[in-house]
């Protein structure tokens, strides 16, 4: 592990902020740059400086998991700058050897036995609980799966403390095969110029009740088991769920993520198709080894995500993870600007409770493949016949319960889609848009989305953004060129 010293031109947080407002960098080096004044919700309650005031002994350059963890531990909550050089594999031991499924697996777990033990043909024939199969799996295979998952989690989840700047050196800095966790009581963190890839869960859990529905359009679907062709096992539903996001902001506040790239790397979930026969073989029932790219939950607050590239993934970003978490009210304030979402299926983001400002973002996807038909059964068959090779775009901006999304001058290019794929009603009441472009045309996005979905939302979100940083929002006509040139790691 090496250390480098940088001279700060401003020695106090408020002076750093002042320098920024004068159009000067905090130092001659981007490692000590701070969030520009008024740049989104992260700037609402004072400067976000990360590790800009780090002393010489708290400036590190790391290229391994061990060095990374040691640097975080050594500095604690003191201001620190950790420069990422090359690729850091979070699923590796102290000697740098990669750890895989066999290193974490606890007997008697193995995927084939687990899959067979909890298959709908076996598990779902039991009496339903509140209209669903029992979601609390038990038995030695589930216990072993959980123990295996705990072993992996202990290795690949890295806690990032307050007053931290993580910044990639050059154009190839990568953190892979693990998750950064910014937990409760963490604040003032800057993450820039890093590609995050492949937070791969070796031990995803099968949830037989997830999205389960007693749907009479499916032949043989009924609430009581009769025989192999009649019973709950013939109903749609059940999902594989992974645990790890690339970055989890779980209660933290005053966070700036900028010029980063997020993806599943070279192990996308499309490599792991459904393993159960019809009707548990919808494309959404693939074996999911990746959760979100960035999830923001549990009263996390004051976050700006800018100039970043999200690609080739299904569920990108959750802001608020439960309709029942009323404690999130007044929190989850997030700004997203100048980001690029390409071949992402949904949640760009999906919002509950939060006030979210989304402006000058570029969304590219294809809605073909979700399935068409007079009912769910016919849509299921149609989707299987289409065999989409892309992540089916279901909704870009998802308005969930008590959310207040303010969309401004975004650009949506959604093949085979309509405006409700750009602005999806996910139990939301309100949504506002101004100046956005959909498939090459300037439209009233909310009116068009309401008409397409049949689930109208009001434009009365109850707030108006004021935090735009140095520059105001660009017109939608300027967004694509700017975002393609600037979004992602290696473009700082």
Strands (E), 7-51: none
Q: Which H/E stretch holds residue 411?
A: strand 411-415
Q: Are 286 and 391 in contact (CB under 8 A)?
A: no
DSSP state of 93: -
> Which residues, 6 or more positions from 73, have their beta carbon under 8 angstroms from its beta carbon?
none
What's the token pair of residue 75? 């500095």
490 phi/psi in degrees, rounded to 5: 85, 5
Task: Check: CB of residue 255 under 8 Å from CB of residue 248.
Answer: no
Tokens, residue 310: 């999200």
Give the tokens for residue 312: 């080739």
| Distance between start and end Cα atoms, the chain | 24
Neighbours of 469 (CB within 10 A): 19
| DSSP SS3 for 453 | helix
Tokens 């947080």 locate to: 13
Here the tokens at position 271 are 């490599």
Residues 221, 227, 228, 229: what is their CA dihedral angle, to the nearest 10 degrees? -40
Closest CA to 316 of 252, 379, 260, 273: 260
- Whole-angstrom Cα distance, residue 370 to residue 486? 32
Active-site residues, by number, are: 347
CA gap 475, 481 in Å, rounded: 12
Q: Name the E strands within 236-353.
A: 239-241, 247-250, 253-258, 261-263, 294-297, 301-306, 309-315, 317-319, 334-337, 340-346, 350-351
Six-digit token string for 229? 């062709």
Tokens standing for residue 85: 């050089």
In contact, 164 and 186? CB cutoff 8 Å: no
Half-sphere exposure (CA, 13 Å, Cβ side) for 427? 10
């Amino acid at each position: 592990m090496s250390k480098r010293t940088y001279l700060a031109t401003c020695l106090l947080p408020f002076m750093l902020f002042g320098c920024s407002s004068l159009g000067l960098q905090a130092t001659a080096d981007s490692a000590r740059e701070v969030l520009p004044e008024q740049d989104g919700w992260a700037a609402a309650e004072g400067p976000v400086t990360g590790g800009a005031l780090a002393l010489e002994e708290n400036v590190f350059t790391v290229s391994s998991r061990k060095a990374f963890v040691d640097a975080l531990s050594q500095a604690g909550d003191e201001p620190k700058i950790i420069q990422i050089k090359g690729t850091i594999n979070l699923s590796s031991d102290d000697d740098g050897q990669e750890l895989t499924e066999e290193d974490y697996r606890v007997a008697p777990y193995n995927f084939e036995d687990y899959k067979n033990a909890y298959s709908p043909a076996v598990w779902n024939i039991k009496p339903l609980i509140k209209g669903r199969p029992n979601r609390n799996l038990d038995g030695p295979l589930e216990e072993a799966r959980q123990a295996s998952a705990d072993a992996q989690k202990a290795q690949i989840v890295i806690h990032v403390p307050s007053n931290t700047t993580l910044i990639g050196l050059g154009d190839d800095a990568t953190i892979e095969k693990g998750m950064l966790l910014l937990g409760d009581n963490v604040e003032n963190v800057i993450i820039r110029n890093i590609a995050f890839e492949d937070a791969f869960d070796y031990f995803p859990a099968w949830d037989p009740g997830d999205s389960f529905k007693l749907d009479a359009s499916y032949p043989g679907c009924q609430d009581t088991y009769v025989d192999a062709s009649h019973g709950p096992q013939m109903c749609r539903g059940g999902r594989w769920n992974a645990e790890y996001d690339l970055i989890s902001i779980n209660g933290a506040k005053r966070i700036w993520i900028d010029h980063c790239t997020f993806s599943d790397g070279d192990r996308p979930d499309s490599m792991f198709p459904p393993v159960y026969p019809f009707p548990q073989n919808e494309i959404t029932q693939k074996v999911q080894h990746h959760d979100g790219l960035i999830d923001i939950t549990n009263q996390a607050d004051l976050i700006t995500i800018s100039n970043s590239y999200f690609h080739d993934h299904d569920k990108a970003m959750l802001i608020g993870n439960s309709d029942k978490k009323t404690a999130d009210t007044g929190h989850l304030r997030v700004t997203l600007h100048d980001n690029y979402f390409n071949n992402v299926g949904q949640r760009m983001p999906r919002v509950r409770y939060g006030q979210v400002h989304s402006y000058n973002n570029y969304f590219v996807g294809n809605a073909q493949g979700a399935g068409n038909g007079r009912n769910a059964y016919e849509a299921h068959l149609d989707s299987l016949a289409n065999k989409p090779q892309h992540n089916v775009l279901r909704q870009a901006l998802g308005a969930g319960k008590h959310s207040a999304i303010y969309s401004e001058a975004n650009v949506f290019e959604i093949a085979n889609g309509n405006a409700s794929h750009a602005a999806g009603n996910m139990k939301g009441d309100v949504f506002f848009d101004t100046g956005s472009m959909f498939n090459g045309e300037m439209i009233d996005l909310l009116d068009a989305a309401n008409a397409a979905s049949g689930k109208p939302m009001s434009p009365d979100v109850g707030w108006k953004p004021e935090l735009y940083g140095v520059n105001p929002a660009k017109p939608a006509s300027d967004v694509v060129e700017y975002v393609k040139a600037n979004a992602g790691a290696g473009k700082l």
